[in-house]
């Protein structure tokens, strides 16, 4: 095979992901960014044009009022803070629950690991909307959970769990737990067991060996799992909408209301751009950590 043919094949293989990113990420983002600098209007689509060509003149009208409005309204600030709080607490809960699960799977017999991983992944094969509706039936006042607690005599009257912040946390942790377990398992299964044996021979207790050897070695898996949970939870809409109540204020819910209820596309686009800017911070930190790890290995 000639060198020009090889070069063309390499460029084609490398270029396909870039074309995908341009078409399905960069181009939609540019459109949303453009809408965020427009003004709401009674039209279809419901916003004014940023670029116009009138009397052989190209006119560019950039409206910064949407971003100024968001900075002055405490509702949107509360929505951002609420989303970050739910994402942080949910990520921490997924880590505390998922790490022991991943550790147990990594230490299980080889023939059993595949079965355990399959059990972790199986819920994700069902649409998230169906799973959230199932949790509505479990957490409602006459649902399975309250019926069980009443039957055991642990409570005298049904607990109000549905349409609360607690229900949101339960739904989020349940839905995103596999995204924490899988990268942790992929990291833990590669650990050299002889390191723990050497520590035990030197007199270290199991808990000490775990904190001094296993946890530091699994740092990359922890960071990857946290990123896979935290980033999508910030913009989560379905779970807060169906399981949360009026006091559950998250940016995904506000975005939906601005787009479809208020039909204020410019403000909604501004919310989306700011949310992406916030999410860039953990992404950049993650990339820097990965770059340092690669430099250390070279």
What separation in angstroms does the CA of 172 have from each of 62, 118, 176, 232, 255? 38, 20, 6, 10, 19
**Cα separation of 93 and 87, whole Å?**
10
Say if residue 193's pLDDT is above 90.
no
Closest CA to 251 of 227, 226, 269, 225: 269
pLDDT at 87: 95
**Cα separation of 209 and 22, whole Å?**
47
Between 201 and 222, the more confident residue is 222
Burial annotation 154-182 (CB, 10 A radius, 16+ → b, else e): eeeeebebbbbbbbbbbbbbbbbbbbbbb
**Cα separation of 51 and 42, whole Å?**
18
Closest CA to 226 of 182, 166, 160: 182
Q: In which band, very low, low, confident or very high, does the pLDDT at 98 lie, cut at 50, 70 and 90? A: very high
Domains of the chain: 73-297 (1.10.3720.10)
User: Which structure tokens are listed for 174?
Assistant: 């349940």
What separation in angstroms does the CA of 245 have from each of 4, 139, 171, 173? 61, 13, 13, 17
Q: In which band, very low, low, confident or very high, does the pLDDT at 166 lie, cut at 50, 70 and 90? A: very high
Classified as helix, coil or strand, 47 is strand
Between 47 and 247, the more confident residue is 47
Average pLDDT score over residue span 19-27? 87
Classified as helix, coil or strand, 57 is strand
Q: Is 130 exposed, middle or buried (0-12, 13-18, 19+ CB in 10 A)?
A: exposed
Of 28-42, 200-214, 231-245, the range with the lowest mean pLDDT is: 200-214
User: Which structure tokens are listed for 180?
Assistant: 């924490």
């Amino acid at each position: 095979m000639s060198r020009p043919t090889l070069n063309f094949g390499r460029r084609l293989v490398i270029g396909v992901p870039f074309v995908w990113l341009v078409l399905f990420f960069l181009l939609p983002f540019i459109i949303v960014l453009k809408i965020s600098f427009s003004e709401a209007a009674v039209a279809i689509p419901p916003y004014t044009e940023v670029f116009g060509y009138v009397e052989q003149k190209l006119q560019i009208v950039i409206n910064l009022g949407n971003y100024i409005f968001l900075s002055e309204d405490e509702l949107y600030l509360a929505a951002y803070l609420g989303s970050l709080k739910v994402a942080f607490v949910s990520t921490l809960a997924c880590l505390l629950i998922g790490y022991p699960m991943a550790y147990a799977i990594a230490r299980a017999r080889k023939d059993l690991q595949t079965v355990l991983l399959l059990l972790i992944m199986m819920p994700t094969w069902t649409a998230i909307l169906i799973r959230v509706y199932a949790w509505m039936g479990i957490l409602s006042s006459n649902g399975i959970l309250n019926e069980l607690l009443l039957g055991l005599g642990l409570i005298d009257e049904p607990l109000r769990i549905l349409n609360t912040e607690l229900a949101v946390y339960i739904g989020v942790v349940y839905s995103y737990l596999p995204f924490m377990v899988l990268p942790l398992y992929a990291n833990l299964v590669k650990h050299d067991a002889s390191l723990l044996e050497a520590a035990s021979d030197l007199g270290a207790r199991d808990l000490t060996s775990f904190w001094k050897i296993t946890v530091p070695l699994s740092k990359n898996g922890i960071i990857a799992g946290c990123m896979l949970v935290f980033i999508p939870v910030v913009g989560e809409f379905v779970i807060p909408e169906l399981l949360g109540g009026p006091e559950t204020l998250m940016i995904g819910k506000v975005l939906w209301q601005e787009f479809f209820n208020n039909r204020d596309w410019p403000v909604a686009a501004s919310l989306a751009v700011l949310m992406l800017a916030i999410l860039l911070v953990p992404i950049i930190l993650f990339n820097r950590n990965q770059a340092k790890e690669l430099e250390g290995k070279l």
